[in-house]
């Protein structure tokens, strides 16, 4: 597979010393309903992964809990042997139950098994990046994570993991992990309307650590969606494009993991011609100016705000990854569909 020569939005970032495109791909939507079982369209799932590679995307996000094991098997079937520039990030710390729930699984034996399963299903000898997924399906939980994180450090020292990160974590938990071993990335919920990690993002940027937002289009209120749609209309763009462009301009350490089960949709989210790329750069700049012009999109920025994953249950996901692990069997609706 030879990647297109187009330039993906946002440029690149050094993820643990490895260069990746800031516009990445999140694989969760490739599974069956409720992130369980095989895809409805197997050939279509293979096609979207190959399209990601053809577009030049070099950062793919997955988890053994997706399916379970379905996205890892699809990634291997579509892309193995992997291009030398491709970096695959996975997550451990949760399992799936018969009802589609996401029970925690952070004992030493459970974490080792999850690492072994990721290696097997992805067809790898070493995992590029492993996140310890903490908290629960409702969001971060203030609890100690040191014991579980040390297990991953031990597995890293065994040569099974190159780089470590944490996901669904509070700032204190990020600091706790950093006190034990270096991390290269944090993956948390964050978007234009839900900005509780603003200070954390700025701190991580100063330290050269990536921040990967999941649920980037979710939890929007009607007022927020209306404002976003108005900005997009003025730009002759789509609300999804403006929201993703805003994330890219928010901080250089933000890496997107756009998710879709459609190759055509993936092409829409990434700029095909140069003019489209310039339009999205313009969109990001204009969205930034909106913040200072009195028409800023209202956002949730206080810890007392209910976690949007708990409030936005019901429809099937559209738009971008990763909608997060929901306590019920349906995925969350992520706002304006594209």
What is the C-alpha to C-alpha distance for residues 317 and 34, in angstroms, rounded to an integer? 10
Establish whether 25 is a catalytic residue: no
For residue 322, say if its preceding peptide bond is cis, omega within 30 degrees of 0: yes
DSSP SS3 for 48: helix
CB-CB neighbours of 228 under 10 Å: 25
Record the tokens describing residue 211, joined without a space.
Answer: 């921040």
User: Which burial class, exposed, middle or buried, applies to 314 when counting CB atoms under 10 A from its CB (0-12, 13-18, 19+)?
Assistant: exposed
What is the C-alpha to C-alpha distance for residues 213 and 276, in angstroms, rounded to an integer? 23
Among 66, 131, 194, 211, the one annotated catalytic:
66
What is the C-alpha to C-alpha distance for residues 158 and 75, in angstroms, rounded to an integer? 25
Record the tokens describing residue 190, joined without a space.
Answer: 């964050």
DSSP SS3 for 109: helix
Whether residue 63 contacts residue 28, with contact meaning beta carbons closer than 8 Å, is answered with: yes
Catalytic residue list = 66
């Amino acid at each position: 597979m030879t990647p297109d020569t187009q330039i993906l939005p946002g440029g690149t970032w050094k993820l643990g010393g490895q260069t990746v495109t800031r516009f990445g791909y999140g694989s969760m939507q490739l599974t069956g309903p409720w992130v369980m079982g095989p895809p409805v369209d197997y050939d279509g799932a293979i096609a979207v992964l190959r399209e990601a590679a053809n577009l030049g995307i070099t950062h793919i996000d997955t988890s053994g809990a997706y399916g379970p094991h379905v996205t890892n098997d699809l990634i291997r079937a579509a892309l193995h042997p992997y291009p030398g520039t491709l970096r695959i990030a996975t997550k451990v710390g949760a399992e799936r139950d018969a009802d589609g729930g996401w029970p925690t699984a952070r004992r030493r034996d459970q974490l080792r098994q999850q690492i072994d399963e990721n290696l097997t299903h992805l067809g790898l000898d070493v995992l590029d990046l492993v996140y310890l997924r903490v908290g629960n399906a409702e969001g971060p939980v203030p609890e100690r994570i040191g014991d579980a994180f040390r297990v991953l450090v031990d597995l890293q020292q065994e040569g099974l993991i190159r780089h470590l990160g944490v996901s669904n974590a509070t700032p204190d938990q990020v600091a706790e992990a950093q006190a034990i071993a270096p991390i290269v990335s944090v993956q948390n919920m964050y978007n234009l309307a839900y900005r509780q990690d603003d200070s954390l993002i700025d701190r991580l940027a100063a330290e050269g650590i990536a921040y990967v937002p999941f649920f980037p289009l979710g939890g929007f209120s009607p007022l927020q969606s209306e404002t976003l749609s108005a900005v997009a209309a003025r730009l002759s763009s789509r609300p999804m494009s403006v929201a993703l462009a805003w994330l890219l301009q928010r901080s250089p350490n933000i890496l997107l993991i756009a998710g879709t089960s459609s190759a055509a949709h993936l092409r829409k989210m990434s700029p095909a011609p140069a003019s489209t790329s310039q339009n999205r750069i313009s969109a990001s700049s204009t969205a930034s100016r909106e913040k200072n012009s009195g028409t800023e999109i209202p956002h949730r920025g206080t810890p007392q705000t209910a976690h949007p994953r708990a409030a936005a249950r019901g429809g099937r996901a559209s738009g971008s990854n990763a909608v997060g692990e929901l306590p019920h069997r349906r995925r969350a609706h992520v706002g304006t569909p594209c």
